[in-house]
Structure 1
Amino acid sequence: MTHTDTIVAMATPSGAGAIAVIRLSGPEAITIASSLFKSNSGKDLSRQKSHTVHLGHIKDGEKIIDEVLATIFKNPYSYTGENVVEISCHGSHYIQQEIMQLCLRKGCRMAQAGEFTLRAFLNGKMDLSQAEAVADLIASDSAASHQLAMQQMRGGFSSEIQKLREELLNFASLIELELDFAEEDVEFANREEFQKLISKITHVLKRLIDSFALGNVLKNGIPVAIVGEPNVGKSTLLNALLNEERAIVSDIAGTTRDTIEDEISIGGIGFRFIDTAGIRDTEDVIEGLGIRKTFEKIEQAQVVIYLFDAEKFQVSALRQAQGDNNEFMVEIETIKNKYPLKNLIIVANKVDNLSEEKIKILEVTLSSVEGSHVLLSAKSGKGLKELETRLLDFVNTGALRNNDTIVTNSRHYDALLKALEEIIRVQEGINDNLSGDLLAIDIRQALYHLGEITGQVSNDELLGNIFANFCIGK
């Protein structure tokens, strides 16, 4: 792939619509656009100022294809840092293809996935982490994921990494300088100041690494498993949360044989709900596979909603008073003991079928269980808002509200872990009074991994992997 030619692609999704935008970028973008655009005012497009919009027609010889708006961005003041022209035409699929084919015949090449943003990176309009944030911004489907992508695209994460790298690079230069004067035994890098810097960098790297736990779930949605015995209303609850008939609801026990997943945004935070097969002993092979998958989903979930039938609970509570074990309480304790690190919400469903007196007894019983509990009717929607509030309570959005830097990208997370590993080696070297040349090796490695994040260190394979996930036209 060459980045000195002129590329073209649709900047809007394929299909018919009110308008469509076709983007050209490269040294000949304005020249090519001028050759097929005829302004209504008679002006030559190639002689117009940057950041101006012009009304006219796209013509193929004498044939008029469409009336369009052409917007000019001259280098270096454009998204890619090159000459860019954006043609806004009517959204007919035929018109789009005709203009695209005309651009190709005039000398453009079809852009590859993410090539406009790749050129922006290569031309210094943004660093690599900012470029990756563009894809995250396009994919954002909640207020939280949008805020994280915007923060990264504005350079909040980049500037923090760059500052650390510059401070470390300054000391690395002084240590390298010491090596040139090894025979004179001169010390340019103040070891006490260097120790303070290493401690500071260690603290910042650990904070960024720890933030990935929050950033990853905010970006991809917080997984919530809805579990419980058959016929307690798990699928009804999923449908109520989604406000649509997503899962089949039946009085027949074991209707859900496989997991059903869907996402919604609650309070600006994305939640990925997983309706699972009812937990029970069964000889049905298919249902048994579904139950096994239920426990797999519990392992993957950050929050577990344990749902039970409040009517049956009353019967079980009565038996307990007569000396029997309460099967629901046993099941709850089993899940808590098996998954002690999971956030658990105990939900009593079908409370609309209980009297006020029985509801009070149920509340007293559940209050003896450590953790969060909610009384609701998935069928009527009663208690649903309280459940949503409890779900939001599990998400510590303090860092998000404070606009702190939060790591969301697994590539960045991996680079930070490697950088921290090297910084710890540097710390150990200082403690053991290692020579400057050995310290310099570990410092260079730490600088390398920090540089990988912003793209100061990159290769074609890395760039190819990143930009291959972009959409065409961006």
Structure 2
Amino acid sequence: MQKKDDKRTKNDKLVKHKTIASIVTPLGEGGIGKVMVSGPNAFTIVNKIFTGKGIADLQNAVNQKLYYGYIHDKGQRLDEVILHIIKKEGSFTGEDIVEINCHGGIRVVMRIYECLQSSGAEGVPQDALLQQSFENNKMDFVQKEALQAVVHAHTKLGVKVLLDQHAGALSSALRQGLEIIEGIERAFLKESWYHGAIIHTDQYRGEEKSLIPNLAREGREALLNEKMLSSLENHIRCLLETASLGMALTTPQVLVILGKPNVGKSTIINAILGEERMLVHHEPGTTRDYVSELISVHGVPFEIMDTAGIRDTEDILESMGIEMALEQLQRADKVMAVFDNSRPFDQEDAEILSALSSWSKKKNADDLHQNVNTYKIIPVVNKCDLAARLDRKKIESAVTQPLYSLSARNRDRLEDLKERLVGELDTTYKPMRPIVFTRRQYCLLAKADVVVKQAKNYLNTGDKTCMISGLIDELKKIFTACLEGHGTINIRVETTR
């Protein structure tokens, strides 16, 4: 077993110090293409295919300087380029880097990429650069996750939040949690904690204060540990509360618009989008398929889905559209249920409420998911510019939420509806605010929350000190796993009898 581990370590070191090349811009989608070479032989490899003005050997290049020249292949000039030299002391991968900025044509970029491989670099996907950075301890796994997620961010708010996490906002908070855990461990294991004044630094105000009044020795331990466990519990809770926003930014919530035919679903979507994207017609049943659009509401992305109106019909195509609408409903994170102010409540409206009830019960059954994403129904009464004939009480009693009245055609009270969509999310941008943004992070911290509550429970019973010690070890493993990139770990969950 030891030999196998030694072999794996040796292979990891070989991977860590190889020279790699990767295309880091989308092929054919811009005027400029970029190929990045990173590794101990980056300068030597690029030297083989680069002829520069004012420099003969990149080994003599100045750090963070640009160099103009040409890439050639067997004497044939391929493209004029600008090189950006970054020496390993200041590079994000921890290795020497040469960024080759060339014209953005697919053929040009690919030819340069192929020449680099022929010259000794290993062609790799873009993620390999992040892995190299991770292996060289230039970033922890949370920072790596953030940088990977930035590429796919849909809004400016998402980019800002993820760049802050890449800069270490969440990582710092996790390390702070480890420090609290280590303090709790010392309190349990060292007798010196029982003597003299014990000082605790307030994590949020930076103030020093004594946690222990003039109590008997046997009371000191319980008070200290309870205060520190409560501090850790609060720290974990504050992080978990950010998960709804973080995960909404990285994975757009699915918003399904549901309602009977001709209630104005497509008009509402067009009003939110601010342009005519959906076909709007007075004839019921116009929408026979679902239509998906990506929107941003106060920086939060949503995948908004317009579905066929739900009703009994003999039209085969419309029936298929309704069946598809019910299928899409199962994907929903939020449902906007639309009702027509100008028509009486009828059987079709009742079927909408029945579908919502079934959806809500199924979603609420998943307790963990319920903690991450707040599943909500948003009841909307449209066409409020027309005479009211709808019995609102039947809807309010079924969904137990206030109705939102608007006129999508006149775009009246549309902003109130947008506020409601992100009502449970704190979208105010605060620089370097730690935010949980992946399910892996959330699941680990949710386990930590369970474990710290168990430790407090054992402490309050006054026994099972050995169990508390074991739970402290589990907490250290969880926070370390979050920083180092482990997905899940086995955690023993005991119950107090």
TM-score in terms of structure 1 length? 0.79
Partner of 2:242, secondary structure, is helix
Residue 381 of structure 2 is aligned to residue 347 of structure 1: yes
Aligned length: 430
Moved more, 391-400 or 35-44: 391-400
| Equivalent of residue 453 in structure 1, options 470, 475, 482 | 482
Residue 265 of structure 2 is aligned to residue 234 of structure 1: yes
Q: Which residue of 2 aligns with 1:21?
A: 34
Q: Does the 8 Å contact 1:225/1:298 carry over to 2?
A: yes
Q: What does 1:390-409 align with in structure 2 at a 5 Å threshold?
A: 390-396=417-423, 399-401=426-428, 403=430, 404-409=433-438
Change (3 A) 1:252 1:46: same
| CA shift for structure 1 position 344 | 2.1
Partners of 2:341 and 2:347 lie apart in 1 by 13
Partners of 1:236 and 1:330 lie apart in 2 by 22
Residue 69 of structure 2 is aligned to residue 35 of structure 1: no
Counterpart amino acid of 1:401? T
Partners of 2:341 and 2:462 lie apart in 1 by 67
Name structure 2 gaps, 5 residues minimum. Answer: 1-11, 192-216, 362-374, 490-497
Moved more, 205-214 or 23-32: 205-214
Partner of 1:406, secondary structure, is coil
Superposed CA deviations along residues 19-65 of structure 1, whole A, max 9, x for unmatched, are 21110001101121123222211442111221111111222343222
Q: What does 1:89-238 align with in structure 2 at a 5 Å threshold?
A: 89-173=102-186, 175=188, 190-238=221-269
| CA shift for structure 1 position 129 | 0.8
| CA shift for structure 1 position 130 | 1.1
Q: Does the 8 Å contact 1:30/1:46 carry over to 2?
A: yes
Superposed CA deviations along residues 184-223 of structure 1, whole A, max 9, x for unmatched, are xx99x94432221111111221232233233323433343
Q: What does 1:24-63 align with in structure 2 at a 5 Å threshold?
A: 24-63=37-76
| CA shift for structure 1 position 147 | 3.0
Change (3 A) 1:423 1:207: same
Counterpart amino acid of 1:449? I
| CA shift for structure 1 position 330 | 6.2
Change (3 A) 1:400 1:376: closer
Q: Does the 8 Å contact 2:40/2:96 carry over to 1?
A: yes
Partner of 2:33, secondary structure, is strand
Partner of 1:401, secondary structure, is coil
Partners of 1:350 and 1:410 lie apart in 2 by 40
Q: Which residue of 2 aligns with 1:383?
A: 411
**Percent of paired sites with the same residue:** 28
Moved more, 129-138 or 91-100: 91-100
Residue 459 of structure 2 is aligned to residue 430 of structure 1: yes
Partners of 2:155 and 2:416 lie apart in 1 by 17
Q: Which residue of 1 aligns with 2:366?
A: none
Q: Does the 8 Å contact 2:81/2:103 carry over to 1?
A: yes
Partners of 2:415 and 2:265 lie apart in 1 by 15
| CA shift for structure 1 position 407 | 1.9
Counterpart amino acid of 1:229? K
Partners of 1:18 and 1:402 lie apart in 2 by 32
Q: Does the 8 Å contact 1:40/1:55 carry over to 2?
A: yes
Q: Does the 8 Å contact 2:71/2:79 carry over to 1?
A: yes
TM-score in terms of structure 2 length? 0.76
Q: Does the 8 Å contact 1:144/1:270 carry over to 2?
A: no
Counterpart amino acid of 1:395? V
| Equivalent of residue 472 in structure 2, options 443, 446, 467 | 443
Change (3 A) 1:166 1:43: same
Q: Does the 8 Å contact 1:130/1:153 carry over to 2?
A: yes
Q: Which residue of 1 aligns with 2:299?
A: 268
Partners of 1:227 and 1:399 lie apart in 2 by 26
Residue 281 of structure 2 is aligned to residue 253 of structure 1: no
Q: Which residue of 2 aligns with 1:321?
A: none
Partner of 1:112, secondary structure, is coil
Counterpart amino acid of 2:285? G
| CA shift for structure 1 position 133 | 0.7
